[in-house]
Structure 1
Amino acid sequence: MARLLSVLDPAARGIQDLRRLSGGASQETWSFRIDGGQGQRLILRRAPDAARSGGSGIGMAAEAAVIRRAVDAGVPAPRIVHELMPQDGIGTGFIMAQIEGEALPSRLLRDPCFAPARTKFANQAGSILAKIHQTDPAGLPIPTQSPQEVLADLAARHRAVGDARPVFSFALRWLAEHAPAPRPWTLVHGDFRMGNLMLGPEGLRGVLDWELAHIGDPAADMGWLCMESWRFGNDDPVGGLGRREDLFAGYEAAGGTPVDPAAVRWWEILSALRWGVIIEEMGAWVRHGTDTSVERHVIARRASETEAILLLDLLEGAA
């Protein structure tokens, strides 16, 4: 990192407080401060050693390109300061400006200092999603995913894991029978949820982790945000902090196309299934010894929760 000082800030004397942050399951996230010069606080987002040749999601270079495009369109996201080059000797990734705030859901949902932010969260989230979806995706090196392609991919991944889950089979059939009508595709964040959103006491400050960005149905981002697992024990559907009606109002007021609640509901159901399949895959990592961390063991036990969500909270009223 010290070799990059001339690029990051020519007046810098060194770096301080370099530490790895706990967030980020698939990529490494490091925080540090420039000593001297402008004294910037920066974030290094880096592919771990095992993922340098490939990695998950769209890849670090594509993620940096998406973030740059989104920032230029007015989306509150971290400014890219430097993309890592082979000669840097650090691997694959990029350095970005640090957005001060809190992203830990347990604090955001319950700490009294975030009470003002909670009251406006749903509306603000809708407004920011509208900006994301109005960002021109032309030329970005990201995939296009139709609802049918997303569903087919989930079905294939579920079969590959080999677990027999009748609830998942029921969900796959229902989703295939009720797929939303085609609509204009946009840039989609792909992981817009609590944990990837930085808030201050006054409200939403930034959108993090763009590694699942793609071109697709904008309702996908709303459905993922509203999925029950991202409410962390609260009842309100929008990240545990607000109503769908406020999310939709904020979206349309910021220039987003009129929202189809039925399409969002379809994506919410698919999101529960998607999270369940991801959990199944994590269980396979544990069984095969690919990832034996405590975190992975804990998450891998929770596929049954998504079955309950699909039956009790989603499919019961939609079947």
Structure 2
Amino acid sequence: MEPIVVDGGAVTGPVPPEGAADPDVLAGLLERRLGAVLGERAAVSGLARLTGGASRETWSFAVSAGGAPRRLVLRRDPVGEAGHGAREAAGMAREAAAIAAAAAAGVPVPRLVDAGTDAGIVGSPYLITEHVDGETIARRLLREERYAAARETMAAELGRTLARVHAVPPDAVPGLESHEPLETLRDGYDALGEPLPAVEIALRWLERHRPAPVPEALVHGDFRTGNLIIAPDGLRAVLDWEQVHRGDPREDLGWLCVKCWRFGSPLPAGGFGTVDQLLDGYAEVAGERPDPADVLWWQVYGTARWAVGCRAMAERHLSGEAPSVELAAIGRRVCEQEHDLLLALGVPPVAGGPAPAAAEPVEASDLHGSPAAADLVGAVAHFLREEVMPGTEGRLNFLARVAANVLDGVGRELVLGPAQERRHRERLAALGCDDQAALAAAVRSGEIDADDPALLAAVRAAVDDRLDVANPRYRSLPG
């Protein structure tokens, strides 16, 4: 891998080739690089960007080089994106080293073909791996009959796999970072400048219930349904090692059990099985069984971490760093994590919640004429679903669906928002606060106890209102 030269926090030296963001140019760059790596003239075909991956790009393609075509996968940082420099390049190098070390320890991973930090090769730091057959889409894995046998044993298999991950010597991956989890979480949350009472309640609970420390291990950092390739006969590969670090191995176990990675399944271990099944599998390889209460602590931590992560991704859009409807939409998922935090802490939703029929009528106005704003929003969402999505595929189809869902939420906010805002102000006033930031500050300072029933009821009602706009179906998912 090419050395990283830092000058004022940015990588100096080779710059991205002109047009590297264009798929046709990228195909040529891959042909040149893989020809050098494989020692044969290379021809790339079928290059397509895959959906998902809000922070890094993932591309699939085939390469022919003196033999039958091989299916490969490219992961790279966004080309030319503001803020990408030495730290991001080092992160890609670390991810490549982690994949190699995990493979040596018997963890199923895609075989590493090439990796580099020189932006002059394919436009940004990158890694290339062999394609692995199987499925990553959680809803298929958790519902389709062909994966029924794999589901039966998957929780234990994932436990065994995590035990092997945690057995990788951390020194086998140069540059692994270690951090104090609660301090890091709070710093990231504070940096966003949007205080959330539900997150403050969770942070207070985490402070009070922290488990005893254990020796640091290599932690995958994003081990969950969606980052696993699974076939009908079982696990094929663990993907996305970009958040690998030194830390408490129980972090990976708790992260897998975060509710959003269950995708509607009532089973806590990634939607596949029980926590006991997960920990039994872990103990088979590790020789010791973590305490379920400690795993719950890391589940609550992971849920708060994802709430902060969703808001941080939205900030990349809001700041202009990376304008994206996908990143903007993720910002409205914060309320899902607030909901999950409250559930994990024993605060259920209000039964039924406020129905759309309870919305206050929007005051009629002839200023803008017809159609009204809600009608326009509905028309554009209909256009995306009925005319754009049927004629597209891949990432464009995915983004059209995201955009349509965003417009649905805007439409619900136009209808429900006035009544919700009135109720919100009444709840804040009852707690002696002018706004949500003041309420969050009162929880942090201890002025209002995090266990106060009036506080929990007010925060739960606010989260329910946000869910009724952002994703009303989420509240009905198993807890």
TM-score range, shorter chain: over 0.9
2:240 aligned with 1:209? yes
Select the structure of larger CA radius of gyration: 2
Which contiguous aligned blocks of 4+ residues in structure 1 show a shift greater than 6 angstroms?
A: none
Paired amino acid for 1:142 = L
Q: Paired residues, what number? A: 315
- 1:150-202 superposed Cα distances (whole Å, 9 cap, x missing partner): 11111122222222321111111110111110111111000001110110111
Secondary structure of 2:74's aligned partner = strand
Contact map agreement 2:268 2:275 (CA 8 A) in 1:
yes
1:218 shift after superposition: 0.6
2:55 aligned with 1:21? no
Paired amino acid for 2:113 = V
Higher relative contact order (CA 8 A, sep 6+): 1
- Aligned match of 2:324: 293
Equivalent residue in structure 1 for 2:342, among 281, 296, 311:
311
Counterparts of 1:50-89 in structure 2, within 5 Å, are 50=81, 52-54=84-86, 59-84=91-116, 86=118, 88-89=121-122
Contact map agreement 1:75 1:128 (CA 8 A) in 2:
yes
1:204 shift after superposition: 1.0
1:256 shift after superposition: 4.7
Whole-Å Cα distance in 2 between the matches of residues 177 and 240 of structure 1?
A: 28
- Aligned match of 2:128: 95
Which structure is higher in helix share? 2
Contact map agreement 1:75 1:132 (CA 8 A) in 2:
yes
- 1:27-56 superposed Cα distances (whole Å, 9 cap, x missing partner): 111111122424221111111111652465
- Aligned match of 2:164: 131
1:134–1:183: structure 2 CA closer, same or farther, 3 Å change rule? same
- Aligned match of 1:30: 59
- Aligned match of 1:109: 142
Whole-Å Cα distance in 2 between the matches of residues 78 and 130 of structure 1?
A: 18
Structure 1: give runs of 5+ residues left out of the alignment: none
Paired amino acid for 1:108 = L
Counterparts of 1:189-268 in structure 2, within 5 Å, are 189-268=220-299
Structure 2: give runs of 5+ residues left out of the alignment: 1-29, 349-450, 452-479
- Aligned match of 1:144: 178
Question: Comparing 38-47 with 216-225, which one deviates more in the overlay?
Answer: 38-47
- 1:92-126 superposed Cα distances (whole Å, 9 cap, x missing partner): 11111111111011211112211111111101100
Contact map agreement 1:275 1:306 (CA 8 A) in 2:
yes
2:64 aligned with 1:47? no
**Structure 1 vs Structure 2: percent identity of aligned residues?**
42
1:211 shift after superposition: 0.4
- 1:204-223 superposed Cα distances (whole Å, 9 cap, x missing partner): 11100000001111100010
Whole-Å Cα distance in 1 between the matches of residues 90 and 153 of structure 2?
A: 31
Contact map agreement 1:171 1:315 (CA 8 A) in 2:
no
Contact map agreement 2:280 2:289 (CA 8 A) in 1:
no
Whole-Å Cα distance in 1 between the matches of residues 202 and 229 of structure 2?
A: 32
Whole-Å Cα distance in 2 between the matches of residues 241 and 133 of structure 1?
A: 21
1:286 shift after superposition: 3.3
- TM-score, normalising length from structure 1? 0.92
